[in-house]
Amino acid sequence: MPENSAGTLAPPPAAKLKIKPPRLSGTLYRGREGMWSWVLHRITGVAIYFFLLVHILDTSIVRISPQAYNGVIDSYKQPIMGIGEFFLVVAIGYHALNGLRIILIDFWSVGARHQRLMFVIVILLWIVLIAGFAPEQIRTIVLEIQGHTNP
Amino acid sequence: MTTTIPAPRTPYAPPKKRRVNWEKWGWLYMRVSGVFLVVLIFGHLFVNVVAGNGVRAIDFAFVAGKWADPFWIVWDTLLLWLALIHGANGMRTITNDYAHNPMLRRLILLAILASTVVLLVLGTLVIYTFDPCPANAVAGTLPSFCPAK
């Protein structure tokens, strides 16, 4: 600050001069929406990446023989994989919605100003997506438990 | 130490060779491919996991039926390339953030690059050399449009 600022800044009240202990959370970024959206984006991204590697390999088995491919795909029709599929869709849902939020923060002129509100909207849309998909997937898992692997 | 100081008022000469800013293009790629992937992946999930009997309907004949249509060939090719490069670039970012040992970092980056190239080639070959009516098929596994099913 220039020394000759002509006293435009009033001296801060005495109460505000108290030095607060450093905090890890509750600052502008740390422990707030900005940080947690980033953490979730990384975790879901890594999970989706490793599924993608496996998914390209399992699909490639269509090139070996129909029976080999059907055998591998049948393992996807087990109840435990139905649960995995549910969490995959949940992870993709968050990564997609928060990814669109990141794009709006970067390219929309007032995006950064509304990042916190957009995070709330992302979470709400995510809940709607999960609520829409869960009954469908529970139905699938129940049918799989009952042994309906091939309709 | 001899340092030649240019004469005052010498105009600033920009470096002759301007290098490509790969980090910038990588940053942009994540956003552009991301928008496409939202459409491609949710379309893929709806058709394969939600619509009809969901995942229980998927078998060789299901895939053959989809790839009989050029629309799904283009869809799946775009999905393969955009998603795998998007994922690999994300893993590269995470590696650069956390792998502090330079040797380990280089090794992980090399592994990401190698697996990405191998899977892109493999996946592309699978889509474009796919035979919906192979001779080695067991009875009852082929799609309805094959001469011998």
What chain B holds in terms of domains, given with CATH numbers, is 25-128 (1.20.1300.10)
Q: What's the rounded Cα separation, in Å, for the pair B120 and A37?
A: 30
Q: What is the pLDDT of residue A148?
A: 66
Within B60-101, where are the H helices?
Answer: 60-67, 70-98
Mean pLDDT of chain A: 84
Q: Is residue A3 part of a domain?
A: no
Q: What's the rounded Cα separation, in Å, for the pair B138 and B149?
A: 9
- Optimal mutation site among B35, B47, B48, B49, interface A, most CBs of chain A within 10 A: B49
**Which has more pLDDT, B97 or A4?**
B97
pLDDT digits over B2-12, tens only?
788 888 888 87
Q: Which amino acid belongs to residue A107? A: F
* Cβ separation A56–B80 shorter than 8 A: yes
Q: Is residue A8 part of a domain?
A: no
Domain count across chain A: 1
Closest alpha carbon within chain B to A149: B56
Q: Is residue A15 part of a domain?
A: no
pLDDT (mean) for B43-60: 85
3-state secondary structure chain A: CCCCCCCCCCCCCHHHHCCCCCCCCCCCCCCCHHHHHHHHHHHHHHHHHHHHHHHHHHHHHHHCCHHHHHHHHHHHCCHHHHHHHHHHHHHHHHHHHHHHHHHHHHHCCCCHHHHHHHHHHHHHHHHHHHHHHHHHHHHHHHHHHCCCCCC
Residue A51 scores a pLDDT above 90: yes
Q: What's the gap between Cα B13 and its chain centre?
A: 40
Where residue A44 sits, what CATH number does that domain have?
1.20.1300.10
Window 49-108 of B: residues touching A by CB (8 A cutoff) are 49-50, 53-61, 63-64, 80, 83-84, 87-88, 90-91, 94
Q: pTM here?
A: 0.82
- Optimal mutation site among A49, A76, A89, A92, interface B, most CBs of chain B within 10 A: A49
Q: What's the rounded Cα separation, in Å, for the pair B96 and B7?
A: 42
**Which has more pLDDT, A68 or B141?**
A68
Which DSSP symbol is given to B57? Answer: G
Nearest chain B Cα distance for residue A49, angstroms: 5
Q: What is the pLDDT of residue B4?
A: 82
Which DSSP symbol is given to B135? Answer: T
A11-49 burial code (b ≥16 CB/10 A, e <16): eeeeeeeeeeeeeeeeeeeeeebbeebeebbeebbebbb
Range of the domain at A102: 28-145
Q: Is residue A95 part of a domain?
A: yes
How many beta-carbon contacts under 8 Å exist across A and B? 107
Nearest chain B Cα distance for residue A23, angstroms: 23
Residue B12's Cβ-count burial label (10 Å; 0-12, 13-18, 19+) is exposed
Share of chain A above pLDDT 90, in %: 52
Q: Which residues contact A52 (CB under 8 A, 6 or more apart)?
A: B83, B84, B87
Window 128-147 of B: residues touching A by CB (8 A cutoff) are 129-131, 134, 136-138, 141-142
Residue B118 scores a pLDDT above 50: yes
Mean pLDDT of chain B: 90
Share of chain A above pLDDT 70, in %: 80
Terminal-residue alpha carbon distance, chain A: 74
